[in-house]
Amino acid sequence: MPEMRGDAVYPNGYPPGDSEGPAGRQAKFVAELGRLEYPRLVYARATVGAARRRDGGAIMEEARILVVDDEEEIRQLVAEFLEGRGYSVITVASGPDALTAVKHYRPDLVLMDIMMPRMNGLEALQRIREIDRDVGVIMLTAVEDETIAREAIRREAYDYITKPLDFGYLELAIMTKLAQTER
């Protein structure tokens, strides 16, 4: 799991020069990951707080987050970060796979890249809305384009976050959206 030290996020959990270095935990994680199939389901408990209610009472639930990005390194980094915060993470590499995951796994939140082959994130967002109008969607992109950002929000994305990711802001956006969601 990536660890945050100050504002820096180190993918292997250690800053350069630490004893384990890049060949340490990261290599072990990648080796273990290679044995898994996608979509990868990792279940962990996540507390989304008293905003989640059934039958009028406050309950704690596991929050499922779908991460959609065609870049494997981004999927892994975001998944590790979220798993480290206790979320159940499902990762897929394309828009069509995201549609399948939304149908079968019913995530509470989707984090989705915009620029992907086969089906871009905006088209996938529109199709996700046809499947589940209530699921929260946060768009992630390396493209800082105000027109695309407006289009994503018009299509009911909750937020639009540019890469490189600010994990502090991402975590805040996720927690805020999950607190608003009542299913």
Alpha carbon distance 118, 125 (integer Å): 14
Q: Which of 78, 73, 114 is nearest to 94 (CA)?
A: 114
| Residues 162, 152 contacting (CB under 8 angstroms) | no
| Residues 14, 67 contacting (CB under 8 angstroms) | no
**Structure confidence by residue, pLDDT tens digits, 63-107:** 999 999 999 999 999 999 999 999 999 999 999 999 999 999 999
What 3-state DSSP class applies to 112?
Answer: strand
Q: What confidence score (pLDDT) does residue 62 get?
A: 77
Least confident of 44-53, 59-68, 84-93, 140-149: 44-53
| Residues 96, 118 contacting (CB under 8 angstroms) | yes
Q: Indicate whether 130 pLDDT > 50.
A: yes
Domain presence at residue 21: no
Domain presence at residue 154: yes
Alpha carbon distance 25, 172 (integer Å): 27
Q: Indicate whether 17 pLDDT > 80.
A: no
Q: What confidence score (pLDDT) does residue 61 get?
A: 56
Q: What confidence score (pLDDT) does residue 86 get?
A: 92
- Give me the torsion for CA of 123, 168, 8, 65, rounded to 10°: -50
Q: How large is the average pLDDT for residues 141-170?
A: 91
Domain presence at residue 65: yes
CATH code, 114: 3.40.50.2300
Q: What confidence score (pLDDT) does residue 182 get?
A: 55
Q: What confidence score (pLDDT) does residue 181 get?
A: 73
Q: What confidence score (pLDDT) does residue 25 get?
A: 42
Give buried/exposed letters for 77-115 (b at 16+ CB in 10 A, else e): bbbbbbbebebbbbbbbbbebbbebbeeeebbbbbbbbe
Domain presence at residue 20: no
Domain presence at residue 16: no
Q: How far apart are the first and last CA of the chain?
A: 29
Domain presence at residue 8: no
- Enclosing domain of residue 54: 38-180
Percent of the chain past pLDDT 70, that is, above it, reads 66
Domain presence at residue 157: yes
Q: What confidence score (pLDDT) does residue 43 get?
A: 32
Q: What is the tally of structural domains in the chain?
A: 1
- Give the number of other CB atoms < 10 A from CB of residue 56: 5
